[in-house]
Chains A and B, each alone.
Chain A
Amino acid sequence: MRRLPAMTATATSARSDLSELGRSETALRTFLHGLPGVDQVGAEQRAAQLGTRSIKTTAKAQAIDLAIRMVDLTTLEGADTPGKVRALAAKALRPDPADPSCPHVGAVCVYPAMVPYVAEVLRGSAVHLASVATAFPSGQAPLEVKLADTRAAVAAGADEIDMVINRGAFLAGRYQEVYDEIVATKEACGDAHLKVILETGELATYDNVRRASWLAMLAGGDFIKTSTGKVPVAATPPVTLVMLEAVRDFRAATGRQVGVKPAGGIRTTKDAIKYLVMVNETVGPDWLDPDWFRFGASSLLNDLLMQRTKLTTGVYAGPDYFTLD
Chain B
Amino acid sequence: MSERVAVRKTYKLYIGGKFPRSESGRSYLVQDANVSLASRKDARDAVVAARAAVKGWAGATAYNRGQILYRVAEMLEGRREQFVALGATADEVDAAIDRWVWYAGWSDKLAQVYGGANPVAGPYFNLSAPEPTGVVAVVAPERPALLGLVSVIAPAIVSGNTVVVAASPAEPLAAITLAEVLATSDLPGGVVNVLTGRIGETAPTLAAHMDVNAVDLTGVADAELAAELEVKAAENLKRVLRPAPADHDWFADPGVTRMTALLETKTVWHPKGV
Contact, CB under 8 Å: A319 / B235: no
Minimal beta-carbon separation of B10 from chain A (angstroms): 23
Give Cα A125–Cα B209 distance, bound, in whole angstroms: 35
Which residues of B sit under 8 angstroms from A318, Cβ to Cβ?
A: 51, 209-212, 236
- A59 interfacial contact with B, CB 8 Å: no
Give Cα A29–Cα B113 distance, bound, in whole angstroms: 76
Main secondary structure of the interface of A (DSSP, over half): loop
A299-325, CB under 8 A of B: which get 1 and which 0? 000000000000000111111110000
Contact, CB under 8 Å: B235 / A317: no
* Residue in contact with A321 in the complex, picked from B47, B205, B210, B232, CB distance below 8 Å: B210
Which residues of B sit under 8 angstroms from A314, Cβ to Cβ?
A: 208
Contact, CB under 8 Å: B211 / A315: no
Give Cα A320–Cα B51 distance, bound, in whole angstroms: 11
- B80 interfacial contact with A, CB 8 Å: no
Which residues of A sit under 8 angstroms from B51, Cβ to Cβ?
A: 318-319
- B44 interfacial contact with A, CB 8 Å: yes
* Residue in contact with A319 in the complex, picked from B44, B205, B211, B212, CB distance below 8 Å: B211
Contact, CB under 8 Å: A316 / B47: yes
Closest chain B residue, CB of each to CB of A315: B208
Closest chain A residue, CB of each to CB of B235: A315
Give Cα A318–Cα B47 distance, bound, in whole angstroms: 10
Minimal beta-carbon separation of A269 from chain B (angstroms): 12
Query: How many CB-defined contacts (below 8 Å) exist between A and B?
Result: 26
Give Cα A276–Cα B13 distance, bound, in whole angstroms: 31
Which residues of A sit under 8 angstroms from B205, Cβ to Cβ?
A: 316
Size bin of chain B's contact surface: 10 to 19
Closest chain B residue, CB of each to CB of A317: B210
Closest chain A residue, CB of each to CB of B208: A315
Closest chain A residue, CB of each to CB of B207: A315
Which residues of A sit under 8 angstroms from B210, Cβ to Cβ?
A: 315-318, 320-321
* Residue in contact with B208 in the complex, picked from A316, A319, A321, CB distance below 8 Å: A316
Which residues of A sit under 8 angstroms from B47, Cβ to Cβ?
A: 316
B207-245, CB under 8 A of A: which get 1 and which 0? 011111000000000000000000010011000000000
Which residues of B sit under 8 angstroms from A319, Cβ to Cβ?
A: 51, 211
Closest chain A residue, CB of each to CB of B205: A316
Give Cα A321–Cα B235 distance, bound, in whole angstroms: 13
Give Cα A315–Cα B212 distance, bound, in whole angstroms: 12
Q: Give the most central of A314, A315, A320: most B CB within 10 Å.
A: A315
Give Cα A321–Cα B232 distance, bound, in whole angstroms: 17
Give Cα A317–Cα B51 distance, bound, in whole angstroms: 13
Q: Give the most central of B51, B209, B210: most A CB within 10 Å.
A: B210
Please provide the chain B residues from 224 to 274 with a CB less than 8 Å away from any CB of chain A in the complex: 232, 235-236
Minimal beta-carbon separation of A72 from chain B (angstroms): 25
Closest chain B residue, CB of each to CB of A310: B44
Closest chain A residue, CB of each to CB of B41: A316
Minimal beta-carbon separation of A130 from chain B (angstroms): 31
Closest chain B residue, CB of each to CB of A321: B210
Give Cα A84–Cα B163 distance, bound, in whole angstroms: 34
Give Cα A317–Cα B209 distance, bound, in whole angstroms: 6
Give Cα A317–Cα B235 distance, bound, in whole angstroms: 11
Minimal beta-carbon separation of B211 from chain A (angstroms): 3
Give Cα A319–Cα B212 distance, bound, in whole angstroms: 11
Closest chain B residue, CB of each to CB of A309: B210
A152-170, CB under 8 A of B: which get 1 and which 0? 0000000000000000000
Closest chain B residue, CB of each to CB of A319: B211
Q: Give the most central of A318, A319, A320, A321: most B CB within 10 Å.
A: A318
Which residues of A sit under 8 angstroms from B232, Cβ to Cβ?
A: 315
Which residues of A sit under 8 angstroms from B209, Cβ to Cβ?
A: 315-316, 318
B194-210, CB under 8 A of A: which get 1 and which 0? 00000000000100111
Give Cα A23–Cα B224 distance, bound, in whole angstroms: 79
Minimal beta-carbon separation of A324 from chain B (angstroms): 15
Minimal beta-carbon separation of B237 from chain A (angstroms): 12
Contact, CB under 8 Å: B208 / A317: no
Give Cα A286–Cα B47 distance, bound, in whole angstroms: 38
Q: Give the most central of A315, A316, A317: most B CB within 10 Å.
A: A316
Give Cα A221–Cα B203 distance, bound, in whole angstroms: 52
Give Cα A288–Cα B208 distance, bound, in whole angstroms: 34
Which residues of B sit under 8 angstroms from A321, Cβ to Cβ?
A: 210
Minimal beta-carbon separation of A313 from chain B (angstroms): 9
Which residues of A sit under 8 angstroms from B211, Cβ to Cβ?
A: 316-320
Give Cα A314–Cα B210 distance, bound, in whole angstroms: 11
Minimal beta-carbon separation of A48 from chain B (angstroms): 19
Closest chain A residue, CB of each to CB of B40: A316
Chain A contact residues, CB within 8 Å of chain B: 314-321
Interface CB pairs A-B, < 8 A, 16 = A314-B208, A315-B209, A315-B232, A315-B235, A316-B205, A316-B208, A316-B209, A317-B210, A318-B209, A318-B211, A318-B236, A319-B51, A319-B211, A320-B210, A320-B211, A321-B210
- Further contacts, 18 of them, CB under 8 A, given A314-B208, A317-B211: A315-B208, A315-B209, A315-B210, A315-B232, A315-B235, A316-B44, A316-B205, A316-B208, A316-B211, A317-B210, A318-B209, A318-B212, A318-B236, A319-B51, A319-B211, A320-B210, A320-B211, A321-B210
In the A-B complex, the 4 residue pairs with the smallest Cβ-Cβ separation, listed nearest first, are A318-B211, A318-B210, A315-B208, A316-B209
